[in-house]
Amino acid sequence: MRQKRSDELPRFMNDREGPEFRWNRRYTYFLAGFLCICWFLYPSRNTSSANGEPTVNWSNYAYSLYATDSTTLCHAILLADALARLGSKADRVLFYPEYWDTVVSDSKDRDSQLLVLARDKYKVKLQPIKPLTVGGRTKDQWTGTWDKSVTKFMAFSLEYYDRVIALDSDITLLQTLDELFLLPQTPIAMPRAYWADSKPWPLTSMLMVIKPNHKELRRFTDRLTGGGEEMLVDAHKFDMELINERFEESAMVLPHRPYALLSGEFRHRDHSAYLGDSKEEWDAEKVLKEAKLVHFSDWPLPKPWIMWPPEGLQEMQPDCGSSTETCVERRIWKQLYDDFRRRRRDICKLLSVPAPEWQKIKGGEHLPNVTEGTAHAAPHADGNVHVDARRRLM
Ligand SMILES: *[C@@H]1O[C@H](CO)[C@@H](O)[C@H](O)[C@H]1NC(C)=O
Ligand SMILES: *[C@@H]1O[C@H](CO)[C@@H](O)[C@H](O)[C@H]1NC(C)=O
Q: Quick one: which atom of ligand 2 is closest to the CA of 375?
A: 14
Report how far ligand 2's centroid is from the alpha carbon of 343 (Å). 28
Q: Is residue 375 part of a domain?
A: no
Q: Tell me the residue range of the domain where 267 lies.
A: 58-361
What strand order describes the sheet that includes 163-167? Answer: 124-129, 91-97, 61-66, 163-167, 207-210, 188-191, 252-254
Query: What percentage of the chain reaches a pLDDT higher than 70?
Result: 76
* Segment 258-302, tens digit of pLDDT: 999 999 999 998 999 999 998 999 999 999 999 999 999 998 888
Q: Is residue 47 part of a domain?
A: no
- Comparing 271 with 236, which gets the higher pLDDT? 271
Checking if the pLDDT of 119 tops 80, the result is: yes
| Total number of domains constituting the chain | 1
pLDDT tier at 389 (50, 70, 90 boundaries)? very low
128 preceded by cis ω (within 30°)?
no
Q: Alpha-carbon distance 62 to 94, whole Å?
A: 10
Yes or no: say if 151 and 66 are a contact pair by the CB < 8 Å rule.
yes
49-58, 110-119, 125-134: which range is least confident on average? 49-58
Report how far ligand 2's centroid is from the alpha carbon of 370 (Å). 7
Checking if the pLDDT of 332 tops 70, the result is: yes
Task: Report, as an integer, the average pLDDT of 80-99.
Answer: 96
Q: Is residue 392 part of a domain?
A: no
Mean pLDDT value across the chain:
82
Query: What percentage of the chain reaches a pLDDT higher than 90?
Result: 51
108-122, 140-154, 324-338: which range is least confident on average? 140-154
- Comparing 124 with 386, which gets the higher pLDDT? 124
pLDDT given for residue 259 in this prediction: 97
- Comparing 289 with 319, which gets the higher pLDDT? 289
Q: Is residue 14 part of a domain?
A: no
300 preceded by cis ω (within 30°)?
yes
pLDDT given for residue 49 in this prediction: 57
Where residue 284 sits, what CATH number does that domain have?
3.90.550.10
Does pTM top 0.85 for this prediction?
Answer: no
- Please report, in angstroms and rounded to a whole number, the separation of the first and last CA atoms in the chain: 42
Task: Report, as an integer, the average pLDDT of 142-167.
Answer: 81
Q: Is residue 215 part of a domain?
A: yes
Report how far ligand 1's centroid is from the alpha carbon of 91 (Å). 12
369 in contact with ligand 2, CB cutoff 6 A: yes
- Comparing 314 with 229, which gets the higher pLDDT? 314
CB count in 10 Å sphere of residue 235: 16
Checking if the pLDDT of 362 tops 70, the result is: yes
pLDDT given for residue 35 in this prediction: 72
20-24, 141-145, 225-229: which range is least confident on average? 141-145
pLDDT given for residue 142 in this prediction: 39
Nearest CA residue ID for atom 14, ligand 2: 369
Checking if the pLDDT of 235 tops 90, the result is: no
Checking if the pLDDT of 18 tops 80, the result is: no
Yes or no: say if 320 and 202 are a contact pair by the CB < 8 Å rule.
no
- Comparing 126 with 34, which gets the higher pLDDT? 126
Q: Is residue 285 part of a domain?
A: yes
Yes or no: say if 212 and 157 are a contact pair by the CB < 8 Å rule.
yes
pLDDT given for residue 358 in this prediction: 87
- Comparing 214 with 138, which gets the higher pLDDT? 214
Checking if the pLDDT of 66 tops 80, the result is: yes
| 61 alpha carbon, closest ligand | 1
What residues pair up with 92 in beta bridges, in sequence order? 63, 124
pLDDT given for residue 93 in this prediction: 97
pLDDT given for residue 41 in this prediction: 63
pLDDT tier at 326 (50, 70, 90 boundaries)? confident
Nearest CA residue ID for atom 10, ligand 1: 57
Yes or no: say if 15 and 22 are a contact pair by the CB < 8 Å rule.
yes
123-137, 187-201, 210-224, 245-259: which range is least confident on average? 123-137
pLDDT given for residue 388 in this prediction: 52
Report how far ligand 2's centroid is from the alpha carbon of 142 (Å). 7
Q: Quick one: which atom of ligand 1 is closest to the CA of 46?
A: 14
Report how far ligand 2's centroid is from the alpha carbon of 151 (Å). 22
Sheet strands (E) in 248-386: 252-254, 261-262, 293-295
Q: Is residue 53 part of a domain?
A: no
Question: 209-228 burial, b for 16+ CB within 10 Å, e for fewer?
Answer: bbbbeeebbebbbebbeebb
pLDDT tier at 131 (50, 70, 90 boundaries)? confident
Checking if the pLDDT of 115 tops 90, the result is: yes
Q: Is residue 272 part of a domain?
A: yes
- Comparing 133 with 102, which gets the higher pLDDT? 102
